[in-house]
Amino acid sequence: MPVASGDVPYINDIQATLNDAVRRAAAATDVTYIDVTDASQGHDACQPIGTRWVEPAVAGTNPIVVHPNAFGSKAMADRAVAALG
């Protein structure tokens, strides 16, 4: 990913802020929010194929970069099914 290592904490903070906004919106509208932050640790775009849940901006296997790949989509779907029954 074309991100300086020093910017990673900033990006993580932005992601946490966005997740919190979605969580609060879900609570306000009485819908279920499923947080995959902990589950996705170690599955970032910098990981090898088969481990990463998100495709990198360069040299990925999916034409839609910096978005969930099949592994990430399945992992999130599994958590949704578990949470919703």
Q: pLDDT tens-digit profile of 25-84?
A: 999 999 999 999 999 999 999 999 999 999 999 888 888 888 999 999 999 999 999 999
pLDDT of residue 70: 94
Q: Determine if the pTM surpasses 0.85.
A: no
| pLDDT recorded at residue 23 | 97
Determine which helix (DSSP H) or strand (DSSP E) holds 82, and give its type and residue range. helix 70-84
Would you state the pLDDT for residue 64? 87
pLDDT computed for residue 52 by the predictor = 96
Q: What's the CA gap between 24 and 11, in Å, rounded?
A: 20
Quote the tokens at residue 58: 């360069």
What pLDDT does 62 receive? 83
pLDDT at 36: 93
Q: Using CA atoms, how far apart are residues 73 and 27, in angstroms rounded to an integer?
A: 23
Q: Please, what's the largest Cα pairwise distance for the chain?
A: 40
CB-count exposure of residue 68 (10 Å: 0-12, 13-18, 19+):
buried
Confidence class of residue 2 from pLDDT cuts 50, 70 and 90?
Answer: confident
Cβ pair 81, 32 in contact under 8 A: no
